[in-house]
Structure 1
Amino acid sequence: MVSGVVLRAGSWSVRVSPRAAGLSGVLVLLLVVVSGLALAVGEVRLTVGEVVGALTGEGGGADFIVNTLRLPRLLLALLVGAALAVSGGILQSLTGNALGSPDIIGLTNGAATGALLAIIVLHGSMTQIAVGALVGGLATALLVYLLAFGRGLGGFRLVVIGIGVSAILLAVNSYLITRATLQEALAAQTWLIGSLNNRGWPQVGSVAVALAVLLPLAFWYGRRLGMLELGDDTARALGLPVGGTRLVLLVLSVGLAAVGTAATGPIWFVALAAPQLSRRLLRSAGAGLLPAALTGAVLLAVSDFAVQRIFSPALLPVGVATGTIGGLYLSWLLVSESRKSRA
């Protein structure tokens, strides 16, 4: 029996789970708290009144600190965290595998290859690097899709092929760095860590525009993930065009991952961990893309805030924190999946 409340508006209807709504409310509250701390706490501490004044255009001396230094970084963390989490949630649902995420199946390394080519071969600007990362991620997804297309995208097939492609791309990336000059290698390595440092309103604007298109589509098509998880035969019996739906969802997942990576560099394991954490909090096997998006935003914002405050005044990239936490999570996940397979 499916629980929830059905909300209707004309010919449109959506089923809302009370638990999902409650979790989303808690996550929104956490976002408000974390955002307040990120804007107020730093080398220069601000009061709540000063932060609110700066946001409303009456901040005086706090205006530069809030609106130029802290707010763009915070917004980019929230947007990229949400994008990566939804991307991972879609892939994990499509593959029926907890390891199905852009980090694991090569999309992140593909974006890194595109960015490295822009840095080392084209000597490109930040905009060209972002475009290179976007193209690299999309090209990698196309390659993985073509290799996996013969027998479908479910199960371990897409994950295994993606891991193989990811390993090849990692070797290519290492080769590109060895052929670079010292300055180019430093720039490439800085980008590869994944960082919110030196990002501003241009990056926020480009990511926000992309997500304004991709996220509503992902949430709309995400309603069909539940039917796909029942199996292809059942989904077809319910009138769902399985092949077309899978392709659209895969394209949306790739686009979200590529946009996020293009803006900040590879920020590992948010796409892997956020959807799983959301599912565990929901106690549901469903995708739950909205709670996953909020979880991803909270994870990345908290990680960036922690890195800034714990290691202050050093400006460590947020990728250091997510990589460390994610590595521990991946180890636990592999052990857990291994025990399940033996049971």
Structure 2
Amino acid sequence: MSIKSPLLTRSGAVEAGAPDSGIAAHYGDPLREQRALARGEAVTDLSNRGVLTVEGPDRLSWLNTLSSQQLLSLEPGESTELLLLSVQGRIEHDARVLDDGERTWLIVEGNEAPVLASWLQSMKFMLRVDVRDVSADWAVAGSVAAVPAWSGYLTWIDPWPKVGPGGFAYTETPEETHPGLERSWYEYLIPRASLEEAVAASGRTLAGAMAAEALRIAAWRPRLGMETDDKAIPHELDLIRTAVHLAKGCYKGQETVARVHNLGHPPRRLVFLQLDGSQHTLPAAGAAVKFGERTVGRVTSVAQHYEMGAVALAVIKRSVDPEAALTVDDEGELYAAAQELIVSPDAGQAVGRPSGLLRTPRARS
């Protein structure tokens, strides 16, 4: 159940639909808000997010055994992300992870919090861990630049798009030219009762969820429930980059992760679409992506970007020609779409591959 943000009472606020219900889609001028957010002059209300805490001396080793991420050496204040996979390696949950030295904080999509909390409770066994859903007490706010007035709050810093330890990039775009570098992203944990006061003290304007989504799409950043479905595996979305440690020990789904990475190819790939800007409408998420008359995928996220115009993320079949012109078909409304590679069609089969085709992490000094 979505928690309504008190910031929805602000002048001009228009509530967003799912999955962002409970917060504002915009405050009257989406493109102006987006420009301000991109310049670091605005903050975004993300208080519909779910927040879980895990306390106890076994918390990091326990989460390490359950998830795709290596957490044993996570330092207080360090940010990372994890995936919880099915036995078949499909993405069931993701979480932004931050430890403060006493407890581990998990920031998740709002509708995921009770489900994930219940599942984690069922996996405690005899370990010294205590899982709590604290979404009613803690709100989240986002910004592309650090907010000095919020320096006292716990802050998750998005690792995207840098290739983390044990990670692997599934795009041929060099890390130093990845469009995600244009969007640093900070998520602050703020006591929910203090949210309005904190926003006023930030010295920044408010930007709605539409602005944050447009910048996310332009950064090629996947989102649970948008780019994922019941078949999604991490390789298809380039999430091996930041959310999977390929050299860690056993966890549920690891066999599929290793097999596809070393010996196979993901069946689908995430792609960025530049849509025909001559139309005054946008296709809906879920619209078909076609190559000729054949449906080859679906749009997962779509937005009007303040510089690029209509843009989208889509998940399409791996076999689609990367040079092919595509069409988005939204119930008969057609949009020409030029694709830009995110996940390479030849991603995977790392064993025995010549070096340099896909990028591995830089060695740490």
Do both proteins adopt the same fold according to a TM-score greater than 0.5, normalized to the shorter chain?
no
The structure richer in strand per residue is: 2
TM-score by length of 1: 0.27
Higher helix share: 1
Whose relative contact order is higher, 1 or 2, with alpha carbons under 8 Å and at least 6 apart? 1
